């Protein structure tokens, strides 16, 4: 259902766009390091969202699957910190490792399911994971604090270093976000990435080429869950308080928005998009109740701009549609460059 998400560009132009994206991302990281007061939390949160969104973008760009369950994956990471580090006094890294294991298990199950369930069915399956996760956060009050939420340890110890201020935590999130974007770019260009792309583009051909489609689906979903839980693990100490509303469907939608931008040029764009989105949200909060209108309008404009850019409509070019092209009228059919 979901075709290629990036417009084919010539090698040199592609490289220039990629390096531009990285330049912008590094600028965002420097901005985070130099930020003061409330801006630190805003930028730190943006970095956490970027980490989770890279997972969504990587899955979308390779397997062509769109997940609406990344909020739940973040909840796994965050609530593991709350329960294991907060209640049972586990060290930060042990709690993070436990949450990553849980996320990998969930990702494996989702990966198995995605061999049978594709496109909008997969979107709904992940939305179901999100809804079940939200129900558990509220319903299992003795563990999670229920609808009232609960406070989490706001300082962590990492390899003997004490990271206790919001600024330190934000800088840590920024460093991890850059590392995750680099990792995603490397995976995309590696043999593993090519396997994932092949499995997403044509499972039958991939299978014919000796690629394990089941393995590729599991791997893609595990990566998605891994990045989500990692982001959640960093999110918990950063905000210091966890409630179910922090991990609602709107968080997953935010990850999708940032993740789609991350599929353009380089995964570093996730950092740029997340920072832009968070800054925009903060700026609009001063507009009051009209902020939602402006926010929605910007999403619509960005969606149209991406669609026009990728489909190349301005140049009279159109993206070839996948199997479902039977709904495309003859006048719309043309060959992609």
Interface with other proteins (CB under 8 A): 1-5, 60, 66, 113, 115-121, 123-125, 127-129, 131-132, 135, 138-139, 203-204, 213-214, 249-250, 253, 256-257, 260, 289-293, 295-304, 306-308, 310-311, 313, 318-319, 321, 324, 326-333
Q: Where are the beta strands (DSSP E) in 156-249?
A: 156-158, 161-163, 241-242
Q: What tokens appear for 184 in the block?
A: 């995603």
Tell me the closest approach of the beta carbon of residue 275 to other proteins, in angstroms: 19
Q: Do 110 and 221 meet the contact criterion of CB atoms below 8 Å apart?
A: yes
CA–CA distance, 119 with 115 (Å, rounded to integer): 11
User: What does the buried/exposed string (b/e) look like for 201-235 if buried means 16 or more CB atoms within 10 Å of the residue's CB?
Assistant: eebeebeeeebebeebbbbbbbbbbbbbbbbbbbb
What's the min distance (Å) between Cβ of 13 and other proteins?
A: 21
Determine the longest span between alpha carbons in the chain, in angstroms: 65
CB of 324 to other proteins, least distance (A): 6
Question: Which residue, 105 or 300, has its beta carbon nearer to other proteins?
Answer: 300
- The phi, psi pair for 101, rounded to 5°, reads -65, -45
- Minimum distance of other proteins from residue 281's CB (angstroms): 11
Name the CA dihedral angle for 109, 113, 114, 120, rounded to a multiple of 10 degrees: -120
Q: Which is nearer to other proteins, 129 or 173 (CB)?
A: 129
Q: Give residues with Cβ within 8 angstroms of 201, minimum separation 6.
A: 64
Task: Give least dist CB 164 to other proteins, A.
Answer: 34
Rounded distance between C-alpha atoms, residue 183 and residue 212, angstroms: 22
Q: How would you class 318 by CB atoms within 10 Å of its CB: exposed for 0-12, middle for 13-18, buried for 19 or more?
A: middle
Residue closer to other proteins by CB (options 129, 272) is 129
Nearer to other proteins, 112 or 182 (CB): 112
Closest CB to other proteins among 15 and 309? 309
Toward other proteins, which CB reaches closer, 170 or 221?
Answer: 221
Beta-carbon neighbour count of residue 160 at 10 Å?
Answer: 5
Least distance between other proteins and beta carbon 84 (Å) = 23
Question: Nearest distance from residue 129's CB to other proteins, in Å?
Answer: 8
Residue 10 or 204: which CB sits closer to other proteins? 204
The answer to whether the beta carbons of residues 5 and 262 sit under 8 Å apart is: no
């Amino acid at each position: 259902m979901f075709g290629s998400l990036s417009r084919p560009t010539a090698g040199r132009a592609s490289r220039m766009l990629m390096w531009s994206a990285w330049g912008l991302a590094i600028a965002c990281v420097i901005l985070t390091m130099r930020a003061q007061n409330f801006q630190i939390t805003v930028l730190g949160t943006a970095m956490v969202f970027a980490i989770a969104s890279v997972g969504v973008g990587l899955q979308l760009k390779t397997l062509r699957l769109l997940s609406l369950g990344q909020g739940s994956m973040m909840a796994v990471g965050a609530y593991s910190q709350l329960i294991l580090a907060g209640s049972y006094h586990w060290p930060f890294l042990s709690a993070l490792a436990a949450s990553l294991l849980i996320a990998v298990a969930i990702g494996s199950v989702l990966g198995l399911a995605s061999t049978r369930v594709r496109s909008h069915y997969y979107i709904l399956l992940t939305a179901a994971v999100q809804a079940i996760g939200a129900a558990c956060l509220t319903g299992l009050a003795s563990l999670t604090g229920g609808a009232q939420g609960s406070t989490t340890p706001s300082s962590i110890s990492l390899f003997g270093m004490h990271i206790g201020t919001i600024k330190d935590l934000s800088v840590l999130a920024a460093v991890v976000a850059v590392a995750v974007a680099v990792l995603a770019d490397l995976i995309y260009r590696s043999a593993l990435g090519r396997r994932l792309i092949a499995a997403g583009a044509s499972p039958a051909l991939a299978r014919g080429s000796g690629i394990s489609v089941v393995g590729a689906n599991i791997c893609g979903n595990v990566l998605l869950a891994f990045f989500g839980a990692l982001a959640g693990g960093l999110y918990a100490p950063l905000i210091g308080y966890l409630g179910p509303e922090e991990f609602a469907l709107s968080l997953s939608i935010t990850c999708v928005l940032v993740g789609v931008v991350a599929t353009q040029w380089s995964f570093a764009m996730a950092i740029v998009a997340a920072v832009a989105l968070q800054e925009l949200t903060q700026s609009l909060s001063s507009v009051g109740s009209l902020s939602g209108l402006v926010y929605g309008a910007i999403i619509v404009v960005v969606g149209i701009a991406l669609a026009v850019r990728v489909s190349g409509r301005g140049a009279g070019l159109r993206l070839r549609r996948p199997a479902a092209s039977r709904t495309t009228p003859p006048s719309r059919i043309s060959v992609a460059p």
